[in-house]
Every structure is written in structure tokens, then in C-alpha cells.
Amino acid sequence: MSRGVTRLDRGVYALAGVTVAGAAAVGGAKEGAGPLGPRFDLTIEDDLHGTTSFEAAEASLALQAVDQSLKKSGLARDAVDAVLGGDLLNQLYSTNFSARQHQIPLYGLFSACATFTEAVGLGAMLVAAGGVERALAMAASHHMAAERQFRYPIELGYQRALTASWTATAAGAVMLRPEMGEQASDNLGADRAVEGGVRVTAVTTGRVIDFGGHDPMDMGTAMAPAAADTLERHRSATGREWGDYDQILTGDLGVVGSRILVDLVRDGDRFRDRHEDCGRMLYSPDQDVHNGGSGAGCAAAVFAVWAYPRIQSGELRRVLMVATGALFSPTSYQQGESIPAIAHAVEFECIGRGA
Amino acid sequence: MPEAGNPTDKATQTAYEKLAARHRPTAPAWGNLWRAFVIGGLICTAGQAVISFFEAHGYTPTTAAPPTVVVMIGLGSLFTGMGWYDALVTWGGMGGSLPITGFANSIVAPAMEYKREGPVMGVGAKMFTVAGPVIAYGLAAAFVVGAVRWFLGLAA
């Protein structure tokens, strides 16, 4: 199958010839104790993960996610053309410091918790356009590191709002490469057959949407309109209906944001049947996370351990993933600005199994 | 095209806020009040026990206050250091935050947190990130009240 990118509309592109060759995720102890815990490639028990700071621990998680996805794709570090990824920490701490270790050419991206689909979408477009043969998309977050940057010191006692999300300690990475039949031009590494593979078929780049949400303890409210906007743009440009997807997976809207989203999208009842949210899936209700999981690593990990294997097996034949990000900073919040949000969409399909 | 800083018009924001508000859970006010009462009450009972201890050892009710404050701040700091105080406030809310032990927690927690950024720019600079406003405006309020008292001729 030949590669290519076709413009469907402003910011919406159909892709040909790009597959996901492998996906991996690592998580923290709380994530490991959640419903998806047993599926993680690795879970860490210690929040510091053998380092001296939570930030360094997050970088180490990011590096492990990269290495695990390389292992599962059967590739070495030097066989990868580019890593695209990001995290929540200032100046992309963990992405940059993990790249200091892996030495793969790096595109650092920031869309807060939507970074994962931004990285996958952009990486898939690079591969589809040709030139880049193997691109690795990753995203990472660490609960403690996010707490100390965005909220309060760890040991400070305070009651979290019921609408507040819990930043996940997790990192996920996926390998993107051309579909078999077209060999990598330089033949680096061992390209595996992609029987039952996962194809990236369309990408929608989000716009920054702001409906005036002000509360960082309620990011579901701030992000739901961005998800609705991207979903509608993707749906109308690709000419699909909600029923055409086996699963529509939003990232990190949580309980509250998901309920709002159903009210915002066209044909909400049918949408609800197909919809699930990464933030609601990562933890069980008794883990006291209130609105659900969030953080750049949440959507990345849920895709890697839950969605990807299901698309691969053909259980889900077409999945639309829309990760959402709240683009505020402590500075913008303290200066009284509302919370702008963004959502990037990537559409995945199962390649010819049981069709 | 909306201006920077004015994302959507006021009417859209108001309508959206109304829609979103329907989906938000409400905090269990009575449960929170009861738990705050229990935790706050326990801390105050402990404080009273310390005062009684000092009074039994030769202090007057007035002179027993300063050493009691020292003991309670010490206990709040110890509980913070052991990693217990945040759990106590998560359960008991304002009942844990409001007493002087909560004030100790608000200083010890950042001091522990920013240890990694060093003793000067870490602990030294950031120890009062949470308690700083309380101290600043507490002093300002004390000044105003003290001034009023002085003008009314109530000062001793």
C-alpha cells in the first residue's frame, strides 16, 4: 500500500500506509492497582523510581516506555528516525531528559494531556509523507511532579474537589512505521509482518477552544467543548457517523467532562453508546480519584494497554481517539485567565483480520 | 474573531456554565461538617490536654499558652513529616487545616517538598509559599486591630 497524506478539510487529513508497530506503557503503583494494572508492561512501586526527584523519576518512566515499545516492535534505538512526545513539566523536563539518554532525534511537543494524540497524529503524517521511516510517539506524566508544579506540596493537607482529576503516573509510547509491502528505504532493523496490524487512517488537529471555564480543579468542564469541536470537525470532514466507530475514546474528560460532552455533540445518545474515556478507565471508583485520571501519560497508557491490543485482535475495527488538554499554567490561572483547551484526534483501523 | 483574553462571548459562556453545572457532583456538606467537627474537636482536645498538663506543673492559664502552641506546632510538624497529616486533612477537611497544627503543616510540607532545590532557593525561598499570605495578612490585620484599640484608648 502506498503512503500518502490527503487533505480533507482544514486540519483534517486522511492517511495511507502508516501502521502502529508496537505500543507499550509503564505505570506507577496506583495505576498498577487499577483495572488496567495487570496489562502494563512495567509498573514501578517507588514514586522516586530509584532517582532523587519526581521529575527525574518521570524522565526515567518516559525512557522505559520508549525502550519497551522498541522491544515490542523489535527495533533498536538507532533504527528510529524520530521521537515525538511531550509531558506536563516546565520546558518538557521528562521528554528532554529521557531523550538525553536515548539519543533519538527529538520533536518536543506540548498539548498538555492531549500531547499523546498530537504526537501520534504528527508522527503518522511524517511517516505517511515519506522520508521518516520510523517515528515513535510518546507522552509521560507523574502524579507527584505534577502536584508540586501545578498544585500544592505533597504533604500539604487539603481536600480535593469532587470534580478534580488525578494526574496519572504513567508513560506510553507507540511505534509508527510504513505498512509492509513497502520496505524501509534504508532497511534498518527488522521490519516485522503486520498481520492483524493497526493502521492510522485519519488525523484531526485541534483548535484552541475556550468556553470560559476557570477552575483548574474542574478540567472536564474546560476541555469538553474542545473535544466536541474536534469530534464534529473530524466527523464532518471524514463523512462518518458515530455508529461507524466501534469505540470513540476521549482522553481525560473524566466523569464530569464525559457527561457534558454527550450534551455537546450532535446525536448525543448514539455517541454515548460508542464513547469511553481514558480518565474513567485508568482507576476504579474506590481508588478515590474523584473525576478520574488525567495527565499526558493517562491517554498514552490507556491506548497502549487497552485500545491497541483490541484493535490488533480485531475486537475493535475502527477507533477514534480524541485526547484533550487543558492549556493553562499556574501563571495564567493566577492572572485570572480562563482555561483554553485543545483536543487532537487520531483514527485507527484494524488491518484485514476477520473482515 | 474573538480578542485575546476574551475567548467566547459572555452569553455563550453563561449558557455553557449552566449546562456544565448540571453534571457536576455536589460536595457532601453535612458529611464534611461532621468529619471536620470530629477532627477539629480531637485536635482541640489534645491542645486542652497539653494546657492542663502545663497548668498542673505550675503555669497559669495565661503563661501556659505559649508552651502549648510550641508543643502543638511540634506535633503538627511531626505528623507532617511522618506523612500522616495530609491524610488527616483529606478526611477531616477544615477540622485539620484550621488549628495551629494545620498551620505547621502548611510550612513543613513545602519545606520538605523543596528540599531537592537546595537549602537556599528551595527550603529557604519556598517554605512560606502556602503560609506566607496568612502571615502577611495576619500581621496586617493585627496592625489594624492594634491601631483601633490604641485609638479607642483601650491599650494598657
Cα-based angle A69, A74, A77 (whole degrees, multiple of 5): 65
Q: pLDDT value at position A340? A: 96
- Where would I find the H helices in chain A? 29-32, 54-73, 93-102, 115-129, 143-150, 219-238, 254-264, 268-274, 278-281, 296-302, 308-313, 330-334
Are A24 and A173 members of one domain?
A: yes
pLDDT tens profile B24-62: 999 899 999 999 999 999 999 999 999 999 999 999 999
Could you tell me if A59 and A143 lie in one domain? yes
Compare CB distances from A157 to B25, B89, B114 and report the shortest one's residue: B89
Using a CB-CB distance cutoff of 8 angstroms, which residues of chain A are in contact with residue B85?
155, 157
Residue B149 in domain: no
The answer to whether residue B99 scores a pLDDT higher than 50 is yes
Secondary structure (3-state) at A170: strand
Q: Which pairing describes strands A341-350 and A170-178: parallel, antiparallel, or unpaired?
A: unpaired
Q: State whether A260 and B116 contact (CB < 8 Å).
A: no
Q: Count the Cβ atoms, other than its own, within 10 Å of residue A198.
A: 26
Q: Could you read off the pLDDT of B105-142 as tens digits, one per residue? A: 999 999 999 999 999 999 999 999 999 999 999 999 99
Same domain for A213 and A122, yes or no, is no
Q: Tell me the ipTM for this assembly.
A: 0.88
Residue B151 counted as domain residue = no
- Over residues B80-90, the pLDDT tens digits come to 999 999 999 99
User: Residue B61 falls within a domain, yes or no?
Assistant: yes
**Size of chain B, expressed as the number of residues it contains:** 156
> From the centroid of its chain, how far is CA A319?
13
Q: What is chain A's pLDDT, residue by residue, as a tens digit (355 residues)?
A: 689 999 999 999 999 999 999 999 999 999 999 999 999 999 999 999 999 999 999 999 999 999 999 999 999 999 999 999 999 999 999 999 999 999 999 999 999 999 999 999 999 999 999 999 999 999 999 999 999 999 999 999 999 999 999 999 999 999 999 986 544 444 444 444 445 689 999 999 999 999 999 999 999 999 999 999 999 999 999 999 999 999 999 999 999 999 999 999 999 999 999 999 999 999 999 999 999 999 999 999 999 999 999 999 999 999 999 999 999 999 999 999 999 999 999 999 998 754 4
Chain B environment of A327 (Cβ under 8 Å): none
pLDDT at A196: 64
What pLDDT score does A193 carry? Answer: 46
DSSP string of A179-211, one letter each residue: PTTS--TT--S-PPP-TT-EEEEEEE----B--
Confidence of residue B155 (pLDDT cuts 50, 70, 90): low
Q: Do A227 and A110 share a structural domain? A: no
Long-range contacts of A28-32 (CB under 8 A, 24+ apart): A28/A61, A28/A142, A28/A143, A28/A168, A28/A169, A28/A170, A29/A169, A30/A143, A30/A169, A30/A283, A30/A287, A31/A168, A31/A169, A31/A170, A31/A282, A31/A283, A31/A293, A31/A301
Sign of CA dihedral B60, B65, B71, B76: positive
Smallest CA–CA distance, residue A325 to chain B, in Å, is 16
Q: What is the pLDDT of residue A186?
A: 44
Report pLDDT for B6. 56
Residues A155 and A207 reside in one and the same domain: no
Return phi, psi of residue A119, to 5°. -65, -45
Number of domains in chain B: 1
Torsion region of A50: left, alpha or beta (phi above 0 gives left; psi -120 to 50 gives alpha): left
Q: How many folded domains does chain A comprise? A: 2
Reported confidence tier of residue B9, pLDDT bands at 50, 70, 90: confident
| Residue A300 belongs to a domain | yes
Residue B48: give the domain boundaries.
30-128
Query: Is residue B115 one of the residues assigned to a domain?
Result: yes
The answer to whether residues A255 and A164 belong to one domain is no
**CA separation, residue A55 to residues A19, A89, A343 (Å):** 32, 8, 25
Give phi and psi for A345, each to the nearest 5: -115, 140
Nearest-neighbour CA in chain A from B58: distance (Å): 35
In a domain, B56, yes or no: yes
CA distance B131 to chain A (A): 11
Same domain, A147 and A247: no
The pairs formed by B77-82 with CB atoms below 8 angstroms and a separation of 24 or more are B77/B104, B77/B105, B77/B107, B77/B108, B79/B105, B80/A155, B80/B104, B80/B105, B80/B108, B80/B109, B80/B112, B81/A155, B81/B108, B81/B112
Which domain, by its residues, includes A142? 20-178
Cβ(A169)–Cβ(A33) under 8 Å?
Answer: no
Helix (H, G, I), strand (E, B), or coil: what is residue A247? strand
A58, A159, A207, best to mutate vs chain B, most B CBs in 10 Å:
A159
